[in-house]
Structures are given as structure tokens and as C-alpha cells.
């Protein structure tokens, strides 16, 4: 009985996140990795980590259960188990902040001459541009787009959004439907995409959109590569209409070594590193919540009992 596991990691097969969670949890609780349908001793289980569909059958069998960490953002399958004594935490609060750091970091680095000043060897007291009072358009107004919008707004940037139907979203001065992408792009200083890959998001950033940006605009793509017409963007950089393009995602990844983006002036290529991978995200959210769990503090983004989200 004293050997009964206290923390279950439920996974069909071992993945980087299972190893990471195991090494984080093992010093604190007796921990095992189990497959979704394994026969297991559940009498001592306090914590379960896994995908909601795999956990729905296990949760009712754990009388001592106090915390369920989902490895998915969507927790519909298990949200109804949340109670005063059982906290359920989704995979949230990681992608938005990480992508916000990326977008704000690159924008400030370019506007405030960080990249060039980093290698200066003489005094250069020239006035630097600021991001305050600039106009940013964000394609994609979900969790990630909203996190970026709120951060940009706190720096005095005015933020416009593009989404499927033009619905209003908090943090955005106005939102446009994707059918109005040209009106959306008009006079923007910064164009940021965090769009997922769908048939509707193909080629949204093309010559027509780029021409409507303010001269000297900065383009950042941290969504998926399909949104950008690469040849149009390179032409706009070479013509000097777009000053800089920061690209984290591509139609083919890794970006091939002979892709012209590597050598286009003003193009900055990063390696799909704007946000964590799902494996990294699971470890990060679990680690943050584990610290709080051990300290007896409320967990981050826990589901409200009875509310289902």
C-alpha cells in the first residue's frame, strides 16, 4: 500500500513531455507512467496528468484525487469533475505570453536599434524611433492574438484585428473580417500574423496587402507559413516598402538552406521558436502548477467547479 502511486502520467506512448513531467514530479510524489487502459492501483493517486479523453475513465477511480493536469487546452471531456477538492487545469497560459515576448522583443529590437547597437564600437547619440503611437494589425484574435494586442496597447500602440467575421474583441480598437483584409492593412506600421493553417488563411499576406502598409512597415509572422506569399514579401523588402520581416514559420520547415529569405536584407529568420512546442508547454505548465500544488496555492487557470471551463 505504501508503494501505491501518488502521481499518474497517462500516455499511450512515451514522449518528451512524459519524461520531463516524470523528472519534475518524481522528487515530490511516487510517480508512474501508465497507458490509458493499464490496470493500476489508484487508491493513493493525488495527481493525474494526461489527455482528457484518456482521463475521463480514470478520474472516478481515484478517491484521493486533488489535481488533474490536462495536456490539452480543451478540457470539455473532464471539466465536470472539477469540485472544491479537485482542481482541473488546462494547457493554457504559455503560448500567448511566449509569442508576446517574441513579437514585442523583435519589434523593439528593430525600432530601438538594439540589433545594430549591439555591435557598435563608438558613441552614436541619434534619436531612435519609438513604438508608442504606432498602428499594429494582428491577424488572428484568439488567446495568442489578444495577449499580443494587450501588451502592444500597454506600450501605446493602437491595435486592429483581423478574424473570420470581424467580431469585436477586447484589446482591439476595431476588428475586420478576413474578406476586408485590404481595409485592415491600410496604413499599418506593424503587421503581425498568428493565424493557424487553414484554407481560409492561405496567402493573406500578399502584394496587395503589403502595398497598403505604411512605408517602412515591419511584418512579423509567428502563425503558419501558408499565410505569406514569400515572393511578394521579398519583393517588398527589396523595394524598401517593407523595412523588416521577422519570420518564424514557413511552408517548408526547416527553411531550406538555399531559400532566398536567408539572404534578403531586412528579413530575419527564426526557427519556429516564437512559442514552445506542445511538449515544452506541457512541462512548463506542469512545473508551474506543481510548485503551487506543493505550496498549497491555487493552481493557474483552474476550471471553476460547475462552470465547465
- Has 224 been annotated as catalytic? yes
Give the range of 30-38, 83-91, 148-156, 175-183 binding its own copies by CB under 8 A: 148-156
CB-CB contact of 222 with 192 (8 Å): yes
Surface-to-core class of residue 197, CB atoms within 10 Å of its CB (0-12 exposed, 13-18 middle, 19+ buried): middle
131 touches its own copies (CB under 8 A) = yes
Strands 7-10 and 47-50: parallel
Give the range of 115-123, 137-145, 169-177, 196-204 binding its own copies by CB under 8 A: 115-123
Residue 4 makes CB contacts below 8 A (sequence gap 6+) with 30, 41, 42, 43, 44, 45
CA 200 – CA 195 distance, rounded (Å)? 10
26 touches its own copies (CB under 8 A) = no
Residue 43 makes CB contacts below 8 A (sequence gap 6+) with 1, 4, 63, 64
Among 241, 270, 302, 305, binds its own copies (CB under 8 A): 270
Size of the site for its own copies (CB under 8 A): 50
Q: How far is the CB of 266 from its own copies (least distance, A)?
A: 11
Q: Site map for its own copies, 197-236, x if CB under 8 A?
A: ----------------------------------------
CA 66 – CA 48 distance, rounded (Å)? 9
Give the other-Cβ count within 10 Å of 142's Cβ: 15
User: Measuring CA to CA, which residue among 221, 224, 222 is closest to residue 233?
Assistant: 221
Q: Which of 80, 241, 272, 292 is catalytic?
A: 272
Q: How far is the CB of 113 from its own copies (least distance, A)?
A: 8
114 touches its own copies (CB under 8 A) = yes
Among 4, 77, 92, 155, binds its own copies (CB under 8 A): 155
92 touches its own copies (CB under 8 A) = no
Among 28, 80, 112, 241, binds its own copies (CB under 8 A): 112
Q: Which of residues 287-306 bind its own copies (CB under 8 A)?
A: 288
Nearer Cβ to its own copies, position 229 or 244? Answer: 244
Give the range of 62-70, 110-118, 166-174, 233-241 binding its own copies by CB under 8 A: 110-118
Among 271, 294, 297, 308, binds its own copies (CB under 8 A): 271
97 touches its own copies (CB under 8 A) = yes
Residue 105 makes CB contacts below 8 A (sequence gap 6+) with none
Strands 135-139 and 190-193: parallel
For residue 212, report the phi and psi dihedrals to the nearest 5 degrees: -85, -15
CB-CB contact of 192 with 138 (8 Å): yes
The dihedral through the CA atoms of 225, 228, 230, 235 has a sign that is negative
Find the helix or strand (DSSP H, E) in which 284 lies. Answer: helix 278-294
CA 142 – CA 163 distance, rounded (Å)? 9
Nearer Cβ to its own copies, position 5 or 145? Answer: 145
Q: Which of 224, 243, 292, 307 is catalytic?
A: 224
Among 41, 76, 128, 297, binds its own copies (CB under 8 A): 128
- Has 181 been annotated as catalytic? no
Among 19, 46, 101, 143, binds its own copies (CB under 8 A): 101
CB-CB contact of 69 with 47 (8 Å): yes
Q: Which residues participate in catalysis according to the annotation?
A: 224, 272
Contact footprint for its own copies (CB under 8 A): 97-98, 100-102, 104-106, 108-109, 111-115, 117-118, 120-128, 130-133, 150-151, 154-156, 253-255, 257, 262-263, 268-273, 276, 280, 288
Amino acid at each position: 500500500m505504501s508503494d501505491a502511486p501518488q502521481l499518474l502520467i497517462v500516455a499511450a506512448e512515451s514522449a518528451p513531455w512524459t519524461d520531463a513531467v516524470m523528472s519534475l514530479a518524481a522528487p515530490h510524489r511516487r510517480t508512474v507512467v501508465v497507458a490509458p487502459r493499464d490496470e493500476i492501483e489508484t487508491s493513493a493517486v493525488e495527481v493525474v496528468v494526461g489527455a482528457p479523453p484518456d482521463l475521463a475513465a480514470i478520474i472516478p477511480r481515484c478517491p484521493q484525487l486533488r489535481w488533474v493536469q490536462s495536456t490539452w487546452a480543451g478540457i470539455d471531456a473532464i471539466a465536470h469533475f472539477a469540485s472544491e477538492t479537485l482542481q482541473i487545469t488546462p494547457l493554457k497560459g504559455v503560448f500567448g505570453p511566449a509569442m508576446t515576448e517574441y513579437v514585442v522583443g523583435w519589434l523593439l529590437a528593430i525600432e530601438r536599434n538594439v540589433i545594430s547597437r549591439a555591435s557598435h564600437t563608438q558613441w552614436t547619440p541619434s534619436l531612435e524611433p519609438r513604438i508608442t503611437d504606432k498602428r499594429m494589425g494582428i491577424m488572428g484574435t484568439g488567446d495568442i492574438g489578444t495577449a499580443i494586442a494587450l501588451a502592444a496597447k500597454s506600450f501605446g500602440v493602437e491595435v486592429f484585428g483581423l478574424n473570420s467575421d470581424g467580431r469585436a474583441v477586447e484589446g482591439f480598437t476595431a476588428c475586420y473580417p478576413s474578406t476586408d483584409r485590404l481595409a485592415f492593412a491600410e496604413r499599418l506600421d506593424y503587421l503581425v500574423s498568428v493565424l493557424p493553417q487553414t484554407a481560409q488563411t492561405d496567402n493573406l499576406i500578399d502584394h496587395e496587402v503589403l502595398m497598403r502598409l505604411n512605408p517602412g512597415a515591419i511584418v512579423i509572422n509567428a502563425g503558419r507559413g501558408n499565410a505569406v506569399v514569400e515572393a511578394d514579401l521579398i519583393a517588398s523588402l527589396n523595394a524598401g516598402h517593407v523595412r523588416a520581416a521577422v519570420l518564424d514559420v514557413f511552408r517548408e520547415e526547416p527553411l531550406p538552406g538555399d531559400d532566398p529569405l536567408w539572404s534578403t536584407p531586412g528579413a530575419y529568420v527564426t526557427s519556429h521558436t516564437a512559442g514552445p512546442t506542445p511538449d515544452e508547454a506541457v512541462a512548463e505548465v506542469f512545473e508551474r502548477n506543481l510548485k503551487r500544488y506543493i505550496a498549497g496555492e491555487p493552481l493557474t487557470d483552474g476550471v471553476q467547479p460547475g462552470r465547465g471551463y
